[in-house]
């Protein structure tokens, strides 16, 4: 299966195989654009789609070459077609369709947020179901109950900022650089997390909110007593954000007797989050599967794998499938859904 990802600022292509649910990555080639967006401290959509256009064909060619796979050996093509920046999605989805059309291969669109959970299944033995799925990325904070990789209910979502977005804003407030999540994480390692109690939002149910803790941080950071104590503030911020995620994660595992927990998205690389998730899962006899660091950030391997699972159950999408900036999941709509439905 050839997978293509272009939803934000990473152009990526991968070749994966699905052997009765065992997902193996033969190659994955990803080109980022951080340097192009750095001076704006955020992704500029027009710049992103133009860069995708330049990168997409070389990236696909290299992925096929690295996998020692000829186009005629493929059995399908998948593209992340939602949610994301519309111009960026258009490049990857159009390339995938053209490729599939030219080779008479089946084409499927894949929901990027769901694929972040498939990422935790790559190159690993199977898990027990049901599982709790947590996607924490720059654009999404979504909590799922999963009966299989393609059969899931959204049970919690952020009401405002995504977890990664909150980390990026914290990095900007603390003047640590962009993209900031990993920098806040690193600074927090040498700070005192208990130097100040930043507020942890307490919402009913399993939803998240990170705008309060971000506002509290920006207020505190202006006070002179905190000057020169960036690491302490980074640690306090990380503690507050992670505490909220862990509270909902444990509640979801308990409520649904989950046997496993899948975690993906850029923020799943966060050290405190990984340690705390390992602790609460171990205490509940629940197996934690965090996506490998290279599959935590946006990549086409997770798209190809999710698409391969769809193809295996006979799902196909038509050429009219259009990229969508939003999805029901991204809008936070609850209820059971099968991927692609
Ligand atoms: O999944 P991803 O590549 O992009 C989206 O699909 O949104 O995630 C990128 C996000 C950024 O917000 C980045 O700051 C955050 O993940 N991130 C982290 C860490 N590493 C990356 N946040 C917290 N701690 C980290 N170690
Ligand atoms: Zn993502």
**Tens of pLDDT along 40-55?**
878 889 999 999 999 9
Residue 53 lies in a domain: yes
Span 97-121, mean pLDDT?
Answer: 97
Residue 339 lies in a domain: no
Classify burial at 41, counting beta carbons within 10 Å of its beta carbon; exposed 0-12, middle 13-18, buried 19 or more: middle
Note the ligand closest to the C-alpha atom of 161: 1
Residue 269 lies in a domain: yes
Within this chain, do residues 275 and 221 fall inside the same structural domain, yes or no?
yes
Within this chain, do residues 60 and 146 fall inside the same structural domain, yes or no?
no
DSSP code, position 190: T
Cβ(157)–Cβ(142) below 8 Å: yes
pLDDT number for residue 194 = 96
Residue 340 lies in a domain: no
Within this chain, do residues 245 and 311 fall inside the same structural domain, yes or no?
no
Q: For 330-340, what is each residue's pLDDT tens digit?
A: 888 887 776 65
DSSP code, position 196: S
Residue 255 lies in a domain: yes
Within this chain, do residues 262 and 140 fall inside the same structural domain, yes or no?
yes
Within this chain, do residues 180 and 154 fall inside the same structural domain, yes or no?
yes
Cβ(105)–Cβ(76) below 8 Å: yes
Label residues 224-257 b or e (16+ Cβ within 10 Å = b).
Answer: eebeebbbbbbbbbbbbbbbbbbbbbbbbbeebe
CA-nearest residue, atom 18 of ligand 1? 181
Residue 336 lies in a domain: no
Within this chain, do residues 171 and 266 fall inside the same structural domain, yes or no?
yes
Which residues does ligand 1 sit against, CB inside 6 Å?
8, 137-139, 164, 167-168, 179-182, 185, 265-267, 269-270, 297-298
pLDDT number for residue 341 = 41
Within this chain, do residues 113 and 140 fall inside the same structural domain, yes or no?
no
Within this chain, do residues 159 and 249 fall inside the same structural domain, yes or no?
yes
Q: Which atom of ligand 1 is nearest to the CA of 296?
A: 1
How long a stretch of residues is the chain?
341
Q: Which atom of ligand 1 is nearest to the CA of 179?
A: 14
Cα angle for residues 52, 100, 80 (degrees, 5° grid): 45
CA of 8 to the centre of ligand 2 (A): 8
Provide the domain limits for residue 36. Answer: 2-119+297-329
Is 266 a residue whose pLDDT tops 50?
Answer: yes
Within this chain, do residues 70 and 112 fall inside the same structural domain, yes or no?
yes
Residue 102 lies in a domain: yes
- The structural domain count of the chain equals 2
Within this chain, do residues 273 and 133 fall inside the same structural domain, yes or no?
yes
pTM strictly above 0.85: yes
Within this chain, do residues 103 and 177 fall inside the same structural domain, yes or no?
no
- Which domain CATH number covers 115? 3.30.420.40
Residue 335 lies in a domain: no
Q: For 201-247, what is each residue's pLDDT tens digit?
A: 889 899 999 999 999 999 999 998 888 899 999 999 999 999 999 99
The pick from 164, 274, 327 for probing ligand 1's pocket by mutation, whose C-beta has the most ligand atoms within 8 angstroms, reads 164
Within this chain, do residues 247 and 274 fall inside the same structural domain, yes or no?
yes
The pick from 85, 113, 137 for probing ligand 1's pocket by mutation, whose C-beta has the most ligand atoms within 8 angstroms, reads 137
């Amino acid at each position: 299966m050839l997978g293509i990802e272009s939803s934000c600022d990473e152009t990526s292509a991968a070749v994966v195989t699905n052997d009765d649910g065992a997902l193996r990555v033969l190659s994955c080639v990803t080109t980022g654009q951080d340097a192009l967006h750095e001076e704006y401290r955020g992704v500029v959509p027009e710049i992103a789609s133009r860069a995708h256009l330049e990168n997409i064909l070389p990236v696909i060619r290299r992925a096929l070459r690295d996998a020692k796979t000829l186009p005629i050996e493929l059995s399908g093509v998948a593209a992340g077609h939602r949610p994301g920046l519309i111009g960026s999605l258009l490049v990857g989805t159009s390339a995938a369709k053209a490729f599939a059309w030219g080779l008479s291969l089946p084409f499927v669109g894949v929901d990027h947020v769901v694929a972040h959970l498939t990422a935790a299944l790559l190159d690993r033995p199977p898990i027990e179901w049901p599982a709790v799925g947590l996607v924490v990325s720059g654009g999404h904070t979504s909590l799922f109950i999963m009966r299989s990789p393609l059969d899931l209910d959204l049970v919690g979502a952020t009401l405002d900022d995504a977890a990664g977005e909150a980390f990026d804003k914290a990095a900007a407030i603390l003047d640590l650089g962009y993209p900031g999540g990993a920098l806040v994480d690193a600074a927090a390692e040498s700070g005192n997390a208990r130097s100040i109690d930043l507020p942890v939002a307490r919402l009913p149910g399993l939803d998240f909110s990170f705008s309060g803790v971000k506002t509290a941080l920006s207020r505190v950071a202006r006070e002179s007593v905190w000057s020169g104590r960036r690491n302490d503030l980074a640690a306090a911020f990380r503690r507050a954000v992670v505490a909220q995620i862990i509270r909902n994660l444990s509640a979801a595992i308990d409520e649904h007797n989950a046997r496993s927990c899948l975690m993906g998205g850029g923020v799943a690389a966060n050290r405190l989050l990984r340690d705390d998730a390992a602790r609460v899962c171990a205490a509940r006899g629940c197996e934690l599967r965090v996506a490998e660091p290279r599959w935590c950030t946006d990549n086409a391997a997770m798209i190809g794998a999710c698409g391969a699972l769809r193809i295996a159950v006979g799902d196909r999408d038509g050429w009219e499938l259009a990229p969508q900036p939003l999805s029901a999941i991204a809008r936070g709509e609850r209820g059971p859904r099968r991927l692609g439905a």
